[in-house]
Structure 1
Amino acid sequence: MAAAAGGSGACLSLLLALLFLSLSGRCLTDRGNLAKPKNAQVDVMNSNFTLKWDWDGKCNMKDCNVTFSAYYRLVKRKLSRGWQKLSGCLRVSATICDFSSSKLDFLKKYRLRIKAEEGEKNSEWSSAIKFVPYEIAEIGPPDIQVEAVDGLIRINISAPGNSDKTPMWEASDFSYWVEFWKNNSTEQKQKKLVHYNDRIDNLDPNTTYCLKIKALLNGEKESAFSPVHCVHTENADANKVPRPKNVRVNALNRNFVLKWDWDETYGKNMTFTVAHCRAFEKKFKKKDCWDTVSGCEKVTTSECDLSSKIIFEGKYEFRVRAINGTEETAWSKEIEFTPSIDTEIGPPSKVKVKLINGSVYLEISHPEEDGSRSMKDYLGFTDLSYRVFTWTNSSNSWEKRFEEDRTHFAIPESELYPQTLYCLKVQAFLPTSNKTGHFSAIECVTTEAGPAGSGGSEALWVVAGDHAGTWRMESGKYSAVLVAVISFFSVAIVCLLVTGFCYGVYCLHRWIKYIFFPSCKLPSNIEECFHEVSLKNAFIPYAAEPTENCSITMNIVTENTEETDIKNYAEHCMQSSVDSGNYSNEDEVNDCPLEET
């Protein structure tokens, strides 16, 4: 019975325990279980961190004293520390908390979770969320101050988050975009501001302008616009002297000259003063960073040499004002100048071209080379390179033949055309920024006569130290062929003209000889009689002379009578023919009878 009584007691105890648990569960159900937080979200504005979440608990938070706590830990492969309390979000009674004082690293990744608490009771943890502060951060609108001064609007801008103890961004990371308009007009104008301290020029006098500004972070993010600010420009004064305009820096190598425009109708005897501000002084928020430039106080010309005042690696702003006795104009618009970026590269100091043993040698000196330093030694010019442009008398334009960071080149004789004029010019440039310099003076050299080897028919090689670059000479090849063809046809035409002229002269000579000097031949029996008479005289007419009758007394010799008669008769006829100009005249022959004695 004792055993039975013990078993009954145990069963009774079990029943009582079950009844107690049932009653306790009903009580908790009546009060409501602690639901876990959900939909947690982190918002970052500048350097301000806010955590929000939802909670669906059934009791009134004011009556049941429910609070919330958030914990975080760094996300990485090996955890060195567990969950840590999130400063600013411990036992808060609202579903929002500010944990800006937690000093989290902006670039690291974190995991965060929340639980509800009531006395000794805790809810389950919410789902953990992950975030990187820099990635989810939003940029707030900038704080601005606006005032109208000297017919322009001066703007001072405070970078977003600049007032925070640990700002997420540097002030120098921002640029700014402004929209401004006349108060009574819907037309808007835009201008991008480079610095937090700028001005808007060319405004109408006695006019109200309104503007709003937003911040741009390294081209990645932008803020919302600031509240609208309105200012009123002052009335124009016809007697007021205007300020200098179009302020600029003419920079070539290490020579810097500040220039500006001035309307001399307002006075020719004005003096000018130049002020400058260093960029690093603005960066550290120096309120008045402007200092007068030594040597540029009260200058009488509209320019000032700044070469000895500027550090090549620096960054500056300049402004100018005109002075007439005790009257001073407003300052001109400020301009920015960065020597390493805005300076123009001059031509090479020297370009030497020599012809040695038929080869052409080229030597280049860096711009502004004074023996100790050159432009190549200054910031931004360490990668100074050169382009070489060439021209020959057989081509019609300059061609880029070489582009390399060298200063010595050699063109072998075997790759040059003989007796050819080669001209070249050189230009410095920066490959990284695609900035080009001024051209050098043109240098020319004429190659020597003689065998030209390949004559550049394939390529022209430029050797620089142990490296070589190719100068293509295809145009020279085709030009040489063209010149040869033209020369051949020119010589052929000249030969044809000379041959035709000689042939014409020869024909003319024969025609004249045929007309005026005919070649007629006498019979052989008469030619023997006239062998002493010139043939030329036979073609010259003579005036006819009167013939005389004559008688010849001849002594007839008995021996050879017949031969003597014939001889005398021939002499008589010849005499008559010469005198009369006739070769034979029958009448005259009859007038010469032979008389015998």
Structure 2
Amino acid sequence: MSAAFIATFLLFCLQTNPVGAEVAAPQNVTMVTLNTNYTLSWDWDQSAGSHAVTFTTEYVAKFNLKYKKKDPKWLVVCDKTSHHSCDLTHRNLNYLGIYMIRVCANVNGSHSDWVHMEFCPDKNAALGPPSKVNLTLAGSTLDVSIHDPLDSTNTSMKEKIPLLYYHIVYWEGSAHTQASGDQTLTTSANLVTLPDLKSWTSYCVSVQSRYEYYNKSSSFTSPLCMQTAGAIPWWVIFLSFLGSLIFFFTIVLLAIFGFMKIYKTIKTVFYPSNQLPPHLKEYLCDSPASDVPRLLASPDSESELLCDKVIICPVQVLEIHFPPPEALAAPPSGLEPDSSGRHSRQGSSGSGDSGVYSTGGSSGLRQPNSNQSGVSGQSMLSAETSWQGPFDSEQVKMRDMTPGLKRQPLITDEGIVDMCV
């Protein structure tokens, strides 16, 4: 009985003995930091146990461990996570505080031994480079504008590290020609003017954050390059002035040319060169000087009743045909001039009749002879109306159209000679 009791007791003790020592603990526990970003990371041997392993991370302020308490209150950050890291940034740890952090592995309800590490952000946290660096031209030199590193809440790290300063390195050339002869400058200001620079020369700048108390230094920023300026040569000023002058005159000429084209187009549209005749403007427009047409009135309007009818009658133009000079210069056949300038008719009758020939081509008309010289005015009128020739009808029409003209009496003097027109 005693042997069986001892065997049962030993089996019970083996079943109730904690198996924590049988689970492998995490290895290479480190803190990855930058300013106020803290991440705890570790390694674990996969061959030491099952693949279904989880990890638990806790922390406590170190001053709480100094009290004589058996069980200080540890704050859990990551509980049974499968990742090999735990982020403590959101815990807002005091930058000047000291904390104890521990982590263990969990397998099938059993956990490994705790791995502890001490962490002080002010001492152990890495310092980051400036958040931003700008270069501005200041004549023959350069101004360097430095923005402070930022913490996890986008606040300047100078609030946590008042002794933060910057180490500036600048050199002549390009970003890939950095040599041993670089110039350096140390400052805690955020705006720095680089001294002893050459005119019209390209310089590159890189900045580093430093904290001397714990000998912290950040990485350098990416190089920024810019060329300095200096006194502008006279030929550059002259060419700039000449170019601006040509550009200005070109713009003015183009503006004038465009204005003239638009003006001519508007003038052609609104003021055409072909205008209405004055006599049409008088009747079609409100006034002779206006181009606005008169409004048409209705057929029953009073203005149409006041207008008189216009009748257009054709007028026949009298045509006068003059004989050629040869016909006027030579006397008619059968007549011979006598000594007194009269034309005597030659014929079988042998009478002494004499006639006067008109200058209008009516040489065929015969005047009464000398024996009938005493004929009265009525005989003359009848003789006048009895003319025969190609212009008798036209002469009658002219007399009818101009009744106001006085008739000229016929000249019966036999002493009148023919005249040429």
TM-score, normalized by length of structure 2?
0.46
Q: Which has the higher strand share?
A: 1
**Greater gyration radius:** 2
Which fold has the larger relative contact order, with Cα–Cα distance below 8 Å and residues 6 or more apart in sequence? Answer: 2
TM normalised by structure 1 equals 0.33
